Amino acid sequence: MFKKIMKGGHKKPSKSESNEPSSYGLGGSNVVVSHASRGALVPSSPVTTAPPPPITSVTPLPLFRDVPVSERQSLFLRKLQNCCFHFDFTDTTKNAREKEIKRQTLLELVDFIQSGASKVISESCQEEMIKMVSLNLFRCLPPASHENTGQEPADPEEEEPYLEPSWPHLQLVYELLLRYVVSTDTDTKVAKRYIDHSFVLKLLDLFDSEDPREREYLKTILHRIYGKFMVHRPFIRKAINNIFYRFIYETERHGGIGELLEILGSIINGFALPMKEEHKLFLIRVLIPLHKPKPIAIYHQQLSYCIVQFVEKDYKLADTVIRGLLKYWPVTNCTKENLFLQELEEVLEATQPVEFQRCMVPLFQQIARCLNSSHFQVAERALFLWNNEHIVGLIAQNRSVILPIIYPALEKNIQSHWNQAVHGLTANIKKMFMEMDPKLFEECRRQYEEKQAKSKEVEEQRQFTWKRLAEAAAERDGVGGEDYMITS
């Protein structure tokens, strides 16, 4: 028994354990990069680079051009070690020398990768580079300014954006990752072992950064990863969907919704036809409900582009989109209502007559309400729909249905709207309908006048009934409290 224990204590290391590169001090990091797919892909002739001994501080290193080619991979690893140290950027005078050494080292690494080195550096070097990138990028983001005060998030255009203090280093780390991903020399079969699902999820978490510079880099990098690593595409779409679901139904707070929608706009543009059911569900379950949150103004331009892309790809989706807009149409938020009208015009421009006819009744019922809005910008924006030739053509083809719906709103504007610009635009539209179909216009006017007369009669009867009730009440009080019943 003792011999068996001794024999087990001197177990020979496996081949995979003996080839595992040293983490050169990364073992204590909280950053974990999953490599679950490594076992399935074993290179036919692995290239190993002896890891350098761990270093305890940032030290100046020679330039790549100053060392023999045979020593560059070892120098590459040592430079990666230099870049694994974090510094406090809230104090500009603290560790100034070490910060500059790290910045210069990152610049050299970017130039080295950009020069085509990713074709010749070993797998272990690529793995350690991704570890270094992870160590620098993946961090806890500071709380948003409104989270500490409990206030609603302000419009980012009206306040100064938060700028990451460590950006001089972070920018170069992002640039290094971007150059590695876009390089034609990067082998995707090797790179996908390290740029895996865990890595992509951590990148997506960083989209909530308040620094617009960081979100711009993240947008570019994730888009390039989506384009280069086809195996990750379904996972990336699903992960982005989950961010949107949480934003719509839970938090309504996220800094990177606009950037994520920009990526999706490019993805939607590349969808093949006929469109998959998965993509149609994405429109119905994600994009249309994104009209619900209050901070829609921050990302509406990108959202509108995605919506219009769907309608242009498949015109049959126009009815679904328009009814979705009507479902989430704002009631008291005039700024949001203006955005909806702007988007509606873009959608209608891509709408075919058959799809238009399916939704025109509820659509113009809502437009009629907008025409009578006391907020002049909403009324004006609704009236501007008649400046679009395609929309006017759709209205002209279906004027027998549309004019009776909106004629009362037009008359109400003429008679009582306080804004002169709205009054003038309404008069122009009335004239347009009169010239388009005089007979229909006269019929609508006659029906409107009859309805108004009837309403006036009902109102007079109501006032007369109230007057009789008041007289009866006064008479009862004078007589001594007998009960009377009033009949009309």
DSSP secondary structure string, 416-473?
H-S-HHHHHHHHHHHHHHHHH-HHHHHHHHHHHHHHHHHHHHHHHHHHHHHHHHHHHH
CA atoms within 13 A on the CB side of 478: 6
Please state, in angstroms and rounded to a whole number, the distance separating the CA atoms of residues 107 and 59.
15
3-class SS of residue 39: helix
Please tell me the predicted confidence (pLDDT) of residue 402. Answer: 97
CA dihedral 86, 87, 90, 96 (to 10 degrees): -150
* Low-confidence residues of the chain: pLDDT under 70: 1-56, 118, 145-159, 479-488
pLDDT of residue 293: 95
State residue 259's pLDDT score.
Answer: 97
| Cis amide bond preceding 274, omega within 30 | yes
3-state secondary structure of 140: coil
Kindly report the number of other CB atoms within 10 A of residue 253's CB atom: 17
Residues in the chain: 488
Predicted confidence at residue 146, as pLDDT, reads: 54
Residue with tokens 């406090």: 88
What is the pLDDT of the chain when averaged over all its residues? Answer: 86
Residue type, position 330, single letter = P
Name the DSSP letter for residue 11. P
Task: Supply the pTM of this predicted model.
Answer: 0.81
